[in-house]
Structure 1
Amino acid sequence: MPITLTVPEGLLSLEGQAQAFAGLTDALLDAAGLTGNTFMTANVIGTINVLPREHVLAAGKPIAAAFIELKLPEIALVSAETRQAFFEKAADVVEHAAEGRLRREHIWSNIIYAPEGAWGIASRSYSNADLVAAIQGGATQ
Structure 2
Amino acid sequence: MPITLTVPEGLLSAKAEAEVFAELTRSLLGIAQLSGNPFMTPNVVGSLQVLPKNHVFAGGKPAPAAFVELKLPEIALARPEDKQAFIEAATAAVERAAEGRLQRDHIWTNIVYVEEGSWGAAGLAYDNARLIGAIQAAAASPANA
Q: Taking structure 2 as the reference length, what is the TM-score of the superposition?
A: 0.94
Summarize deviations over 1:92-121 as a string: whole Å, max 9, x none: 111111111111111100011111111111
Letter in 1 for 2:51: L
**Residue in 2 that maps onto 1:129:** 129
| 1:8 Cα deviation from its structure 2 partner | 0.2
Letter in 2 for 1:53: K
**Residue in 1 that maps onto 2:17:** 17
CA RMSD for the aligned pairs? 0.9
Give the distance between the partners of 2:107 and 2:37, measured in 1 at CA: 28
Give the distance between the partners of 1:21 and 1:50, measured in 2 at CA: 13
**Residue in 2 that maps onto 1:8:** 8
Give the distance between the partners of 2:138 and 2:37, measured in 1 at CA: 5
Give the distance between the partners of 1:95 and 1:138, measured in 2 at CA: 34
Give the distance between the partners of 1:135 and 1:104, measured in 2 at CA: 34
Find the residue that maps to 1:116 and give its secondary structure. coil
**Residue in 2 that maps onto 1:50:** 50
Give the unaligned 5+ runs of structure 2. none
Find the residue that maps to 2:29 and give its secondary structure. helix
Give the distance between the partners of 1:96 and 1:130, measured in 2 at CA: 37
| 1:137 Cα deviation from its structure 2 partner | 1.8
| 1:138 Cα deviation from its structure 2 partner | 2.4
Give the distance between the partners of 1:27 and 1:55, measured in 2 at CA: 28
**Residue in 2 that maps onto 1:28:** 28
Give the unaligned 5+ runs of structure 1. none
Task: Extract structure 1 runs of 4+ deviating beyond 2 A.
Answer: 138-141
Letter in 1 for 2:82: T
**Residue in 2 that maps onto 1:109:** 109
Find the residue that maps to 2:67 and give its secondary structure. strand
Summarize deviations over 1:8-37 as a string: whole Å, max 9, x none: 000001111001100100111111111111
Give the distance between the partners of 2:118 and 2:40, measured in 1 at CA: 17
